[in-house]
Chain A
Amino acid sequence: MSAGTEVRPTSAGTYTPRPGAAPLPRMIAAQAALETKMLLRNGEQLLLTVVIPTLLLVLFSTVDIVDTGSGQAVDFLAPGVLALAVMSTAFTGQAIATGFERRYGVLKRLGTSPLPRWGLMTAKTLSVLVTEVLQVVLLTVIAFALGWSPQGNPLAVLLLLILGTAAFSGLGLLMAGTLKAEATLAAANLVFLLLLVGGGVIVPLDKFPEAAQSVLGLLPISALSDGLRDVLQHGAGMPWGDLGILAVWAVVGLGAAGKFFRWD
């Protein structure tokens, strides 16, 4: 059909169609790498995911502000801060980033690319996991330097971290996929702050009135920090109760996100 049209030296077959999707694993890996890069480049995100947990761990381990019960403060704080790190990445960070991706048409544009939607979500999860690994390594090294002596079954810890990530991801994506980006930004930060205070991260839950305790104990952050503490501080076996709470949050959150998530 180019017959009769003028010949352009710049063209001559440059754009001849050769369509095709890249292999799925390559697409997902590329997407996860880009998402992680975007996250690590974002100052506010780093503040949330790295600076705040690190500061809390160092500050409260070395300065006796909060009564963390008997034993070394770091043994109480390290599990709580690990729970906080999971929440900051899987919930707050992911909600804010995804909310703005939705607002700026990134999800829409990628939704018409060869990368399937579930592939995009898989990449997001991978990116969250990579970030969490970096956080856990950093916080563990710092905690050890502060004299941390963890107990317990690493498998139980891993299971808690994974279920916690699933629970927080569901809630974060639900927020990002239904609210406006600005509302998500405000709400995700507010929830982060409230759960930081009321979720047994640095303030033990038994400092709260009894009635409040039973409600606060059902929050995903409390289940995660309590479960991690049971295992890492007290050497407990599988914390089934906490795992159960996280599993319910994960099913409800991911289910609702799957149903109500809007791509634009």
Chain B
Amino acid sequence: MRNEPVVQVHGLIKRYGTKTAVDGLDLAARPGITAVLGPNGAGKTTTVETCEGYRKPDSGTVRVLGLDPVRQAAELRPRIGVMLQSGGVYSGARADEMLRHVAKLHRQPLDVDALIERLGLGSCGRTTYRRLSGGQQQRLALAMAVVGRPELVFLDEPTAGLDPQARRATWDLVRDLRADGVSVILTTHYMDEAEQLADDVAIIDAGKVIAQGSPEELCRGGAENTLRFTGRPGLDIASLLKALPSDCAAAELTPGAYRVSGKVDPQLLATVTSWCAQHGVMPEKISVERHTLEDVFLELTGKELRG
């Protein structure tokens, strides 16, 4: 029962006027942490807001914890926590005041004081929301998402613009949520965030999910790894290729800079170094590059993630 998807989206289409923000999107999120990764404008926020029941799909079906977020909103809303990308708080409210208010809307909220301390919001004191720093506003929004003890939390760009220390604090809280059995759907355009946190990553571009799987699966599947070395210019690439397994490629990128791509494993590394030894070449700056989500994204879309 724990493996029932927490979010299931089929053929979601959402338009704003003539602009299609989400274009036939399919997504299934298992319990755990799912990162929805994509560049700005890919449709991440619209997808999440549709799951929250905030937007009505133009077409397609959305089920969150098995419920229709629009028709069964009253049943769903107490079970989810929401962190908006920005805002969501009365400009004249103090951090603790707003958090206590959201807590009051729930039956068994977290201990507000403990949460304030955990997220370092105690220092906000009597400062009203509009005068809080961006990081404090972000942490308050995160606290508001979790204070009601939800089963599922939606975090929209939870660490955008945070300094590294605050990012790590947010990541720690997200990991704690997961450890206690809370599922998390987070959108991000940070590769490392998805790699560090997520059990599953859905890569989204132009309103569609173009790949989904664990970070390891995504980096392995379809993607090739790369071995680079430098040596004297003009080595015999044809001879090197003959020594390599048949599915490998090799090239001299610039004079003296060589690249071998294929399934890079210890055997391949040994093959390359022994070929170099036979030809009296000293391979310098030898390096093996693992495929990152960034490469996967680039391959799938031809675009840089952070454009």
Contact = CB atoms under 8 A, between A and B. Distances in A.
A14 interface: yes
B77 A20 contact: no
Contacts of B91: 100, 104
A186 interface: no
Given A15-B110, A18-B108, A114-B148, A105 B88 contact: yes
Contact of A109 (B110, B144, B149): B144
B107 A11 contact: no
A169 B149 CA distance: 35
A5 interface: yes
A225 to B, nearest CB: 31
B232 interface: no
B182 A17 contact: yes
B150 interface: yes
Contacts of B175: 5, 8
A34 interface: yes
Interface string B177-188: 111111000000
B18 to A, nearest CB: 18
A17 B151 contact: yes
B180 A2 contact: yes
A70 interface: no
B104 to A, nearest CB: 4
Nearest to B148: A19
A17 B149 CA distance: 5
B181 A20 contact: no
A11 B182 CA distance: 12
Contact of A16 (B82, B87, B148, B149): B149
Contact of A21 (B88, B97, B107, B144): B107
B77 A113 contact: yes
B234 interface: no
B148 A112 contact: no
Nearest to A35: B90
Interface string B76-97: 0111101010111111110001
A115 B180 contact: no
B285 interface: no
Contact of B180 (A16, A20, A26, A114): A16
Nearest to A7: B179
Q: On chain B, which size bracket covers the interface?
A: 35 or more
Most buried by A among B2, B90, B182: B90
B60 to A, nearest CB: 20
Interface residues of A, number: 41
B16 to A, nearest CB: 11
B88 A15 contact: no
A19 B179 contact: no
Contact of B176 (A11, A114, A116): A11
Given A20-B108, A22-B104, A42 B92 contact: yes
B10 interface: no
Contacts of A38: 90, 92-93
B52 interface: yes
B79 A112 contact: no
Contact of B105 (A7, A11, A27): A27
A113 B76 CA distance: 10
Interface in B132-187: 144, 146, 148-151, 172, 175-182
B1 to A, nearest CB: 12
A259 interface: no
A182 to B, nearest CB: 14
Given A30-B101, A104-B89, A114-B78, A1 B106 contact: no
Interface of B: 2, 31-32, 52-54, 73-74, 77-80, 82, 84, 86-93, 97, 101-102, 104-108, 110, 114, 118, 144, 146, 148-151, 172, 175-182
Given A5-B175, A21-B107, A111-B54, 16 more contacts: A1-B32, A2-B179, A10-B176, A14-B110, A14-B180, A22-B107, A30-B104, A34-B90, A34-B101, A41-B92, A106-B87, A106-B88, A108-B88, A112-B80, A114-B78, A116-B73
